[in-house]
Structure 1
Amino acid sequence: MNLILETERLILQPFKEEDAIRIRDLANDKVLADIIGLPHPYELKHAKEWISIQPKQINEGDEYPLKIVCKELNEIIGTITLRVDKHHNKGELGYWLGKDYWGKGFATEAVKKIIEFGFNLSLNKICASAITRNNASKKVLKKAGLQKEGTLRQNKRLQNTYEDVDVYGLLQNEYKRCKA
């Protein structure tokens, strides 16, 4: 599948093996690990293993892990994924950016594009979650049109601490109304 999604400032596309070094460098950050649950230290083998399973996931339509490339810099700044639950016809999105790229609107731009992609797959709902203390991520989800549906108490264990998780969702008919 020739999957390339483009926004004004970004290109979202499948990873290549040679992207593993860049992903390791971006992901090997204690602050990032603490808010999204990546292993720390994040080693090259983690990135290589993750990238190696992606073509099959994309080809089967189960998951669409994409690198986020900043056009201006011509480099990878993060990743965004849409996991498809075919039985319930919904998608769950997840994303992260390297710390140097926070607060510049890149995440919101990428999330809006992957939502458009998901609804073009005829999904009925797209959802996402963020640990409750991750205010920046929750702001991204709200800007992208997702509504908070609730809080799952002590739902995720990060660094031996149980974290509350806020859950967000957007229905296709709501998305279409906003676009009309």
Structure 2
Amino acid sequence: MSHLFPEQIETERLTLTRLSTENLSVREFYDICKPSPEMEEVTKFMPWEPHATMKPTQEFFERREKLWDDGEEAAYFMVPKAGESGVGEFAGTATLHCDWEHRVGGLGTWLRKAYWGRGYSGERAAALMQLAFDRLDLEYAKVTHHTENEKSKRAIEKYIEAHGGQRDATLRNWLPYEDHVSDQVYYSVSQSQWREAVDGRPKAAFTEVIDHAE
């Protein structure tokens, strides 16, 4: 199942490239994820902390590689395209986790602070829903956020509504955060809702193999 996911996805303003050591070094990713005031803010509502050493960074890559090869998760890093501020720079990550038993794709992302407020989260979500529904034929896409994360709430509500979905529930004591278990707000979009909402809209372009010789 190693070729289940495209190696690269092109949207209007972003390039999403497979998150692997072939495309991004462990050192590069560690330098982004290591402790800093920025990363403390980025990970405030995330179920992970800044990487204190390169060991968790290496383990992160190893897990992403296995999940990709097993067809369970497509993980990408995002860079802005020409015409965008920060063109070519690492902006954040984007993931689609596949629950094949229930035919549900879970959307995940985080962005560096310099790229907040640009609508990149919604653009990335649109591309990953296309992957989930058009290519993988999953029945639902889902996303959650910490109940206190207002930035994620605003971004998610906007792109969920744009794709025909809805807020479904508040999941009590759902995910461990630091020394407690947090509530999560749950949203979903069905394949039929998505198809009706995006009919006639431009779609992202999928690339199967990256030519590193370019």
Q: Same fold (TM over 0.5)?
A: yes
Decide which of 153, 171, 175 is 2:194's aligned counterpart. 175
Q: Give TM-score scaled by structure 1 length.
A: 0.90
Aligned partner of 2:12 among 8, 13, 16: 8
Q: Which residue of 1 aligns with 2:157?
A: 142
The one-character-per-residue Cα deviations of 1:8-52 (angstroms, maximum 9, x if unpaired) are 111112123243333333333112222112123443222222112
In structure 2, the residue matched to 1:81 is 95
Residue of structure 1 aligned with 2:129, choices 115, 120, 127: 115
CA contact (8 A) 1:26 1:77 kept: no
Cα contact 2:174–2:184 (8 A) shared by 1: yes
Structure with the larger strand share: 1
Q: Distance in 1 between matches of 2:65 and 2:175?
A: 28
Inter-CA distance 102–38: structure 2 relative to 1 (3 Å threshold)? same
Aligned to 1:91: 105
What is the distance in 1 between the residues matched to 2:117 and 2:49?
Answer: 23
Q: Give the CA deviation at 1:154.
A: 2.9
Unmatched runs of 5 consecutive residues or more in structure 1: none
Distance 1:23 1:80 in 2: 14
What corresponds to 1:162 in structure 2? 181
Q: Does residue 1:64 correspond to 2:60, yes or no?
A: no
Q: Which runs of 4+ in 1 moved over 4 A?
A: none
Which residues of structure 2 form unaligned runs of 5+?
Answer: 200-214
RMSD: 1.8
Say whether residues 1:48 and 2:80 are aligned partners. Answer: no
3-state SS, counterpart of residue 31 of structure 1: helix
**Percent same amino acid among aligned pairs?**
26
| Native 8 Å contact 1:11 1:71 kept in 2 | yes
| Maintained 8 Å contact 1:149/1:167 | yes
Q: State the structure with bigger RCO (CA 8 A, min sep 6), 1 or 2.
A: 2
Structure (1 or 2) with the greater helix fraction:
1
Task: Select the structure of larger CA radius of gyration.
Answer: 2
Residues 33-75 of structure 1 deviation map (CA, whole Å, 9 limit, x = unaligned): 2211212344322222211232332232111111112223212
Q: Which residue of 1 aligns with 2:117?
A: 103
Conserved 8 A contact 2:96-2:107: yes
Distance 1:107 1:43, change over 3 A: farther
Structure 1, 12-21 or 80-89: larger mean CA deviation? 12-21
Equivalenced residue count is 180
